[in-house]
């Protein structure tokens, strides 16, 4: 379903991994990473982990903080929970911008 969701995503869709603190959005798709590096976490595994942490279509996401070096990792609020994750992982969460 993830690739369909990505195609169906609105023009304004952005990737969570690109966002700066202060950004608010709603998840429109959680996709499997494409062309994963050999040996990296298997793509389905990463999708499942994101889902289990509450990154699921329809959830509200706000970027709260970023790490001291290269702005990585990021701390985000997903619905009512604070989660830290790396930007590379957050690239698989597709958002539509929402007003804060």
Partner 1 sequence: MNLSTIPTVALVGNPNCGKTALFNALTGSRQKVANYAGVTVEKKEGLAELPDGRRLRIVDLPGTYSLRARSPDEAVTRDAVLGRLPGEPAPDVILCVADATNLGLVLRLALELKTTGRPVVFVLNMIDIAERQGIEIDVDALSRALGAPVKATVATRRRGLDTLLEIAAAQAEGASDLGPDLWREPSAADVRNGHRAARDLMRNTVRPPSRPDTLTGRLDGILLHPAAGLVILLGLLFLMFQAVFAWAAPLQDLTEAGFAALGAAATAGLPTGWMQGLVVDGLIAGVGSVLVFLPQILLLFVFILLLEDSGYMARAAFLMDRIMGGAGLHGRAFIPLLSSFACAVPGIMSTRVIDNRRDRLTTILTAPLMTCSARIPVYTLIIGALIPERTVGGVLSLQGLVMFGLYAAGILSALAVAFVIRKVLWRGGSEPFMMQLPDYKIPDPVNLLRNLGQKAWAFISRAGRIILPLMVLVWALSTWPSAPEGAEGPAIAYSAAGRIGHWLEPIFAPIGFSWEMVVALIPGMAAREVAVAALGAIYAVGGAEGDLAGVLSRQWPLASGLAFLAWYVFAPQCVATLAVVRRETGGWVWPGIMFAYMLALAYLAAFIVYRVAAAFGLS
Q: Which residue among 28, 63, 85, 95 contacts partner 1 (CB under 8 A)?
A: 85
CA dihedral sign of residues 93, 5, 34, 44: positive
Task: Give the whole-angstrom CA distance, residue 100 versus residue 97.
Answer: 9
Does residue number 50 form part of the binding site for partner 1 (CB under 8 A)?
yes
Does residue number 56 form part of the binding site for partner 1 (CB under 8 A)?
yes
Does residue number 80 form part of the binding site for partner 1 (CB under 8 A)?
yes
Task: Give the whole-angstrom CA distance, residue 98 versus residue 43.
Answer: 28
Does residue number 13 form part of the binding site for partner 1 (CB under 8 A)?
no
Nearest to 25 by CA among 76, 50, 62: 62
Does residue number 38 form part of the binding site for partner 1 (CB under 8 A)?
yes
Interface residues with partner 1 (CB under 8 A) are: 1-2, 37-41, 44-54, 56-58, 64-70, 72-73, 75, 78-86, 89
């Amino acid at each position: 379903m993830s690739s369909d969701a990505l195609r169906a995503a609105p023009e304004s869709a952005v990737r969570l991994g690109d966002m700066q603190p202060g950004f608010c959005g709603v998840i429109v798709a959680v996709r499997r990473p494409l062309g994963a590096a050999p040996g990296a976490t298997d793509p389905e595994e990463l999708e499942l982990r994101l889902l289990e942490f509450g990154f699921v279509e329809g959830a509200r996401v706000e970027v709260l903080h970023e790490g001291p070096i290269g702005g990585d990792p990021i701390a985000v609020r997903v619905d009512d929970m604070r989660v830290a994750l790396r930007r590379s992982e957050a690239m698989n969460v597709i958002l539509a911008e929402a007003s804060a």
